[in-house]
Amino acid sequence: MNRLFVALALPDHVRAALSGLRRGFPGARWVAEENFHLTLRFIGEVDNRAMDDIAEELDRVREPGFDLELDGFGSFETKGKVRALWARILASEDLNHLQRKIDTALDAVGVARETRRFKPHVTLARFRDAPLDRVNELICEASPFSAGPFPIGSFTLFRSFLHRDGPVYRPEMVYPLDGDAFSDPYFDEFRDDDEYDFQDENAVPSH
Ligand code: ATP
Ligand code: MG
- Tell me which of 191 and 101 has the higher pLDDT: 101
- Among 160, 124, 99, 94, residue whose Cα is nearest residue 29: 124
CA–centroid distance, residue 44 to ligand 2 (Å): 10
CA atoms of 177 and 175, how far apart (whole Å): 6
pLDDT digits (tens, 9 = 90+) for 118-137: 999 999 999 988 999 999 99
**Element (H or E) spanning 52, and its range?**
helix 48-58
Residues noted as catalytic: 37, 121
Measured from CB, residues less than 6 Å from any atom of ligand 1 are 3, 5, 39, 42, 114, 123, 126, 160, 162, 167
Q: What is the pLDDT of residues 18-50, one digit of tens each?
A: 999 999 998 899 999 999 999 999 999 999 999
Set out the domains of the chain in order of their start, with CATH numbers: 2-44+56-193 (3.90.1140.10)
Percent pLDDT > 90 in the chain is 79
> Which of 4, 29, 38, 42 for a ligand 1 pocket mutation test, highest count of atoms within 8 Å of Cβ?
42
- What predicted TM-score, i.e. pTM, was given to this entire model? 0.86
Taking 70 as the threshold, does the pLDDT of residue 188 lie above it? no
